[in-house]
Amino acid sequence: MSSFAFRQLGDQCFFAWLTTARCVYKFGGGASFWRGMLAHSIRNQVCGAAAKMKTRLDRRRWCLTATAVLLASAPLAHTAGAQVAAGAAAGDSAARMIEHGITNGVSVQLPAAWSEFKPGDAPTALAPYAPPFHMGGILALQNLQANAIVEFATSDNPLLGRDANWLDGQLHMPSGSGMSMIDFLFYYLFPPSAACLNEAMANNARASFAPSPNNSSSDAPPVLQVSYACRHDVTLEGFFGAQVSSGITFVQTNQGPRAYGMTAQFYLAPMERVTSPGMTWYVFSAQRVNPVNPGTSAHFNLPTNLQGAQAEFYWAIGAVSPFPWVYDGGRANQQLIHMAYAGVGLGGNKRAEFMALLQRVQVRGASAGGGQ
């Protein structure tokens, strides 16, 4: 064989190595180090030694085989690169923030995992027994991945002339008092359905005499008491509603009628005063004492790892700073803003998640740390 034939063999082998290496770099993003080393080995060990006649055929076959391996691996590298890119895009989508308006000049920015939904309406028949706030402008969002719900609302200000100590005492009253933290959850956040309430008001066959729930005296006068269990929809909202109460109780006393929830047992934490950009908040929390049992988890289609977890609820009453305890005729905005949160998790502490959401509520134009 002539020297030209040797050079032609070497040139062909080098061209195969160069083309293959470029393919792998283009489709694999240059990320496969070992493939590059293999291509380098082909050039040095085969292409550079092509002039050696006794090994020409064997090494040419090895060169072609290795080149085929490199070409075959290029689509795999391309697929892996596409998967990494898709994962990054999904991460970017999850991190994307969406601004939700709460009221004029006040908004909240939340990750895209929080989606708006229409909550069940509180039956108007419960309004006379609820705490003295007239709620409106309700914004409800749920995060199905985190098994959590957050709601925002505006209200008038029945706290004029009061102070933080009075508010603290009221929200730590027992359930059924009309102004407790659990009453807020029952009447406003997770009330019984209108269907259950209508059935209860239309049927009094199960009436019984019992003492008032807040009067432990043995000589307390009897009252007419009617209790009804309420069914809850198999939704995340229905799950939290069932965690708050199992039904509704109507009572008739000498002081008039009342209605309150058949609520579970909760641990109430001390009140906290918190600020977010341009706002001041008073935060209350309630943790259900009994954990989620397997039957409840299965009924509401919860993940199995939430068996034994505890439901936790937060309620924050806020306003544009300074908080309007007294009437100020010079201020245009003295309404209250309410933020309620429901979550469930092992370890029983969702405070960090709630506080992170609270800090995303801000007044237009306010900077971080602007609360008073």
Instruction: Choose among 157, 78, 98, 144: nearest CA to 117.
Output: 144
> Is the per-residue pLDDT at 155 higher than 50?
yes
Q: Cβ atoms within 10 A of the Cβ of 226, count?
A: 19
Question: How is 110-144 classified by DSSP, letter by letter?
Answer: EETT-EE--PPPPPGGGGGGS-S--EEEEEEEEET
Mean pLDDT over 18-46 rounds to 42
The pLDDT of residue 74 is above 80: no
Distances (CA, A) of 371 to 153, 166, 274, 322, 353: 20, 21, 8, 8, 20
Contacts of 28 (CB under 8 A, 6+ apart): 35, 73, 74, 76, 77, 78, 80, 81
Is pLDDT at 37 greater than 50 in this prediction?
no
Please compute, for residue 167, the number of CA atoms within 13 A of its CA located in the half-sphere on the CB side. 23
Residue 345 and residue 194 in contact, taking contact as beta carbons nearer than 8 Å: no
Q: For residues 354 and 339, give the distance between their C-alpha atoms in angstroms, rounded to a whole number.
A: 10
Q: For 188-215, what is each residue's pLDDT tens digit?
A: 999 999 888 888 877 755 545 455 555 5
pLDDT band at 84, cuts 50/70/90?
A: low
Name the token pair of 114: 């929080």
In the chain the domains, ranked by start, together with CATH numbers, are 3-94 (no CATH), 97-190+265-363 (3.40.1000.10)
Mean pLDDT of the chain: 78
**What is the pTM assigned to this prediction?**
0.72
Confirm if 174 and 180 have CB atoms less than 8 A apart.
yes
pLDDT, residue 20, reads 42
Q: What share of the chain has pLDDT > 90, as a percent?
A: 51
- pLDDT, one tens digit per residue, over 50-72 is 444 344 445 555 444 544 544 45
